[in-house]
Amino acid sequence: MAHDVTTTRQPAYEHWTTSEGRKIFLSEKRSVTTPALGTVVFLHGSSMGSQGFDLEIAGDPDASIMDWFACRGFNVWRFDFTGYGRSDKPDDFLATVEQSVTDTLAVSNYIRSQGGAERIMLLGYSSGALRAALFAQRHPERVKRLGLEAFVYTGAGSPTLRKRAEKMKEWKSSVRRPLSREFLMSTMTRDHSETTMETRKMPFIESILALEDSVPNGTYIDMCENLPLVDPLKITAPTAILRGQYDGIATDEDVLEFFRLLPNPDKEFIFLPGVAHTAGTAKNYLRFYSAALSFFARPEPVFVEKH
């Protein structure tokens, strides 16, 4: 699949579904080619809804990873987990990784109901990677391929989680935590101050603050107290781990051990040079985009040994 296709802005189609009675917002962009190569669903992280996957920045058509993938042959979806973005935000809902499985299943069911793929490809970012992995563990029949970006397994040795754990009393004292421009900027600069595109920083931040001034604490608590949340031995989907060189959410050793334990030999571990925690806004974003595209566009193996 050519990576040098010109990216152009694609129409977004708004959808709504429900998860245990809660409204869930979805946005779809359709492949410019027929038939599509597959369906990719993007799963967001702890501190923002899904709007960051579809940035619109003048002079930067690649800012929307959804447009980039749609122009290269994929149907693409994003959705806001309960507690985020345009989805319902119950006062008492922590939005833990465990609770995300129900939302993702509802989204999978909805895509099927619209004539979409029976088996979707998931690309999760940060806690969204944990959410994607847990869904693949619980519902292997729904997942064709699994991409995990900014992923953490046990959390051992993580400088980001060690720092975050210092505020555990604060996280556990309330359901939600406030957002600020300063905090959101730190997600792009805390591991390395020079890796992020200057022109994407503020559009990314403003897209988040346009919809919310606080987010749930569930995944922060999970990542500080409850890891590991996923059993790699129970993930059977072909899996790619995309690991930023400077990402402090995990150590290389931590995620390499997860990779080692994955039972399906159709797996890839991809280092992203010059990338920290937020690959989509990095100067080297094309290394992330193209690696994910290549993995999702892989032909299925002809020979698979039966055990």
CA distances from 129 to 33, 73, 122, 255, 301 (A): 28, 23, 9, 12, 25
Task: Give the residue, 1 or 84, on which the prediction is more confident.
Answer: 84
Q: What is the structure's pLDDT at 304?
A: 85
In a domain, 301, yes or no: no
pLDDT surpassing 60 at residue 2: no
Both tokens of 6, joined, read 């010109």
In a domain, 5, yes or no: no
Q: What is the structure's pLDDT at 251?
A: 98
Q: What is the structure's pLDDT at 1?
A: 47
Q: What is the structure's pLDDT at 213?
A: 96
In a domain, 32, yes or no: yes
Residues sharing a CB contact under 8 Å with residue 174, sequence separation 6 or more, in sequence order: 217
In a domain, 173, yes or no: yes
CA distance 201 to 264: 37
CA distances from 104 to 23, 91, 172, 195, 201 (A): 13, 21, 25, 31, 28
Q: What is the structure's pLDDT at 306?
A: 78
In a domain, 3, yes or no: no
Number of domains in the chain: 1
93 falls in which pLDDT band (50, 70, 90)?
very high
CATH classification of the domain holding 114: 3.40.50.1820
Lookup result for tokens 């059993």:
231
pLDDT surpassing 70 at residue 3: no
Domain holding 171, by residue range, is 13-296
pLDDT surpassing 50 at residue 295: yes
In a domain, 4, yes or no: no
144 falls in which pLDDT band (50, 70, 90)?
very high
In a domain, 304, yes or no: no
pLDDT surpassing 70 at residue 103: yes
Q: Is the dihedral of CA 32, 104, 187, 153 positive or negative?
A: negative
